[in-house]
Structure 1
Amino acid sequence: MLAAPAIFAQGAPQAPGQQDASRVTAGTYTADPGHSLIAFEVNHFGFNDYYGIFGDVAGSLEIDPANLYAAKVDVTIPVASVTTASKGLTDHLLRAGKDGGKPDFFGPAPAAARFVSTAVKAEGMMATITGDLTLNGVTRPVTFQAEFTGAGVNPFNKKETIGFEAETEIKRSDFGVNYGIPFVSDEVELDISVAFEKQ
């Protein structure tokens, strides 16, 4: 029988990750795909907002707490892994165009999206991260507002881990995804939650 990690030991429980910047050590980290995701939000017909998720996020973070402005983020989002609460909508996002035409949204074998930072400005637990987002074969500058959410050692794999959440808003028409505008909003809110593990 495997011994339970310290997180389950008797006594007052405490999460291994804490919003304590002193726990962050310099180095290269990679995204934990099982605990990282990007959610998107669009408005449907002006009635309500609808959500979807891209999982299996991959990428890297280079960070030095003594020089946060030099931090670099490179994240890849497998668009083909998109999922929604409706199988019909998920299939629609990934279906081929009718009669050989252009797909409504991404198509059946979409290329992964990628964000590569070009500048980081940090203040306290917050950071403004500017970079280039490539989606649907189009690259545009995008700025994320990010928050450091926790750091510590994962009790299961013993890796130093850093967590961040970030958000931004893009126009999908800027990336050539024009179907249904304005009935499905052009504006798309992106909410990101990523855990990075030190290598």
Structure 2
Amino acid sequence: MKLAPLVLVAALAAVQPAFAQSSASTDPAKVEAGRYVVDKTHAKIIFSFNHLGFSTSYGLFSDFDAEMTFDPKSPAKSSLAVSVNMDGVVTTVPKFDAHLKSPDLFDTAKYPTASFKSTAIEVTGPTTGRITGELTLHGVTRPVVLDTTFNGAGVHPMNKKFVAGFNATAKLKRSDFGLGYALPVVGDEVTLTISTEFVHQ
């Protein structure tokens, strides 16, 4: 019985070097140029809003496709396109999930997807930028700005593919997209918090 912990420690020690040798760099100039697609297993879109003045409610989307082209010599010439499966919304409260999908709100039977397509990219710092684009949600298209941070890029230590990671935030008013249910009791402003890993193709 006493050998089991020792065996476990030895096993962990044996695999640790593989995880310790990440080549991720925060220098955007070292990112490989070209086309990237999102790794769905490491990508989330989290939304939050004020609930009745008492708390902040959260939900997320993890079922979405995204494609990016990146030009390290001229990042402003890069592009981003995203398509979100609205039926994949998760709040961990099944009744609320069903309500979000109903005609009161997202109406996923009529509007099964939301999309974002970049129209301009502005570099604001060594690892930051602003991605302006058109968000189509609930059949309405409005401009939205993603404040973006480049986390790092390099060869993934496990799958040996070149990966680039980003975080982003944005704020929007749901009423701008025809989602006015329970206003103004439930907050109009929605905050998006996004984290993604993209794999070079």
Scaled to the shorter chain, the TM-score interval is 0.7 to 0.9
Greater gyration radius: 2
Give % identity.
Answer: 41
- Cα contact 2:46–2:61 (8 A) shared by 1: yes
1 CA distance for matches of 2:166 and 2:96? Answer: 29
1:59-115 deviation per Cα after TM superposition (whole angstroms, max 9, x unaligned): 1111111011101010111111000021111111113xxxxxxx1111242321111
RMSD after superposition: 2.0
Q: Distance in 1 between matches of 2:116 and 2:170?
A: 12
For residue 29 of structure 1, the aligned residue among 21, 36, 48 is: 36
Q: Deviations over 1:116-174 (max 9, x none)?
A: 00110112100011010000111001111000011111233321110011011000010
Question: Aligned residue for 2:198?
Answer: 196
- Determine the structure 2 residue equivalent to 1:99: none
Corresponding pairs, count: 187
Listed as ranges, the gaps of 5+ residues in structure 2 are 1-10
Using the TM superposition, name which of 29-38 and 153-162 deviates more: 153-162
Q: Per the alignment, in what secondary structure is the counterpart of residue 105 of structure 2?
A: coil
The Cα of 1:18 is off from its aligned counterpart by 3.7
More helix by share: 2
Distance in 2, matches of 1:23 and 1:148, equals: 12
* Deviation (angstroms), 1:11: 8.7
Q: Please tell me whether residue 73 in structure 1 is matched to residue 80 in structure 2.
A: yes
SS at match of 2:149: strand
Aligned residue among 58, 61, 72 for 2:68:
61
1:1-199 alignment runs, 5 A limit = 8-10=15-17, 13-95=20-102, 103-109=103-109, 110-122=111-123, 123-199=125-201
- Structure 1 gaps of 5+ residues are 96-102
TM-score (ref. length: structure 2): 0.86
1:69–1:121 Cα contact (<8 Å) kept = yes
TM-score, structure 1 normalization: 0.87
Is the 8 Å Cα contact of residues 34 and 56 (structure 1) preserved in structure 2? no
Distance 1:138 1:45 in 2: 26
1:160-195 deviation per Cα after TM superposition (whole angstroms, max 9, x unaligned) = 110011011000010011101112111100111111
